[in-house]
Amino acid sequence: MANITAALVKELREKTGAGMMDCKGALNETAGDIEAAVDWLRKKGLAKAAKKAGRVAAEGLVAVESSGHHAAIVEVNSETDFVARNDSFQAFAREAAKLSLDTDGTLEGLETAHFPGSTTTIKETLSHLIATIGENMTLRRVAKLDVTKGVIASYVHAQVADGLGKIGVLVALESEGDVEVLSTLGRQIAMHVAATNPVALDAAGVDQATLDREINILREKNAGKPENVLAKIVESGLKSYYKEVTLLEQPFVHDGSKTISQVLKEAEGKAGAAVKLTAFVRYALGEGIEKDDGPDFASEVAAARG
């Protein structure tokens, strides 16, 4: 029998929103397989379908920087929030985002980039910062967006300084329209992305493994029904799923009567040209990183274990 730890129960609880005992039962049923347990809970109707993101556990900052038709976003992690408030740490995060504008948008490209007028790379600078502050830090990830014409809007949630915060979003709008109109629209959509955390731009962007998993869940929840009925249920279920998790199909948080696609179409009149949302990036600080939050929850699980 698998050893179901308190940490495992907590992880499943935060991934699914299900109750503690339901999570414990799911893990027992699936021999401790966290992803299988998520599916088990969903099949039982005990988990929320869209709550898939890993828990946010690491400290640090997300930094965004833009220049003309280019923008970049980076995540820099630290062990404590105290260090994230350090001026030197914030300056490093800001400079890393700025340097990313002139890289290929990969982590390796950023790590080997040199500070202007210096032979010191970003990676070397981070090592010096670790030695100076005395706490481990990591340059975790980076992304870069470009447009030929139009704007790349940004939004930083829980901002601690200009361009630095806990959640960062970039939204690329390709258009020959009015830049001011595009900038306002882009920021509104970036705020929407921060709030809803879509998994893809559209249905075509949802990876096949995620799609197969959703189909499997729909079929198992309706097992025993005729194949032609199942096919229609799956088709309907996927349409609902796309509306929930793909950006262009989601109801706009600023006006729930319209989807993002409809908002973009309506904006063409004000912008004076066609508007196409080509890409977005959303970084939430520490998503997917494990962190020990102490013994309190373990005590709770131990008590429930009886």
On the question of pLDDT at 117 being above 90, the answer is: no
pLDDT at residue number 293: 52
Least confident of 101-115, 123-137, 180-194: 123-137
Mean pLDDT of the chain: 87
pLDDT at residue number 79: 86
- Residue 43 carries which side chain, given as an amino acid letter? K
CA distance 62 to 156: 8
Encode pLDDT of 196-219 as tens digits. Answer: 999 999 999 999 998 999 999 999
CA distance 150 to 279: 12
160, 85 Cβ separation under 8 angstroms? yes
Encode pLDDT of 68-105 as tens digits. Answer: 899 999 999 998 888 899 999 999 999 999 999 999 99
Kindly state the percentage of the chain with pLDDT values over 90: 63
pLDDT at residue number 1: 56
Least confident of 53-62, 69-78, 116-125, 247-256: 53-62
Q: Which domains are assigned to the chain?
A: 1-55+288-306 (1.10.8.10), 59-199+259-284 (3.30.479.20)
Encode pLDDT of 36-78 as tens digits. Answer: 888 888 777 776 543 433 333 379 999 999 988 999 999 999 9
CA distance 267 to 275: 7
Burial of 180 (0-12, 13-18, 19+ CB in 10 A): exposed
On the question of pLDDT at 185 being above 80, the answer is: yes
